[in-house]
Amino acid sequence: MADDFFVTGTDTGIGKTVFTALATALLAGDNKQTGVMKPIQTGCLERNGEKVAPDLEFVRRACGDIFDPEVLDLMAPVRLRMPASPHLAAAEEEKEIEVERIIRTYHKLSERFDNLFVEGAGGVLVPITEDYLMVDLMVELDLSVILVSRSGLGTINHTLLSLEVLKSRDLEIAGVIFNDPEPKNWGPVERDNMQIIEKISGNSVTGRLPHIPDLEDKVKKPGNIWEQLEENRNLKKFKKELKDLVNNGN
Q: State the pairing for strand pair 205-209/173-179.
A: parallel
Catalytic-labelled residue, pool 38, 167, 236, 243: 38
SS3 232: coil
d(CA 34, CA 5): 11
38 carries an active-site annotation: yes
Q: Could you please report the per-residue DSSP string of 13-26?
A: TSSHHHHHHHHHHH
- Counting other chains too, the contacts that 192-200 makes at CB distance below 8 Å and 24 or more residues apart are 193/151, 193/152, 193/155, 193/156, 194/151, 196/156, 197/155, 197/156, 197/159, 197/160, 200/160
Partners of 146 in beta bridges: 7, 175
d(CA 140, CA 160): 23
Whole-Å CA distances, 69 to 55, 75, 217, 240: 16, 10, 23, 31
Q: Angle 18-105-34 (CA atoms, 0-180°, nearest 5)?
A: 45
Spatial contact of 91 and 49, defined as CB atoms under 8 Å apart: no
Q: State the pairing for strand pair 173-179/144-150.
A: parallel
Q: Give the residue numbers annotated as catalytic, written as ranges.
A: 38
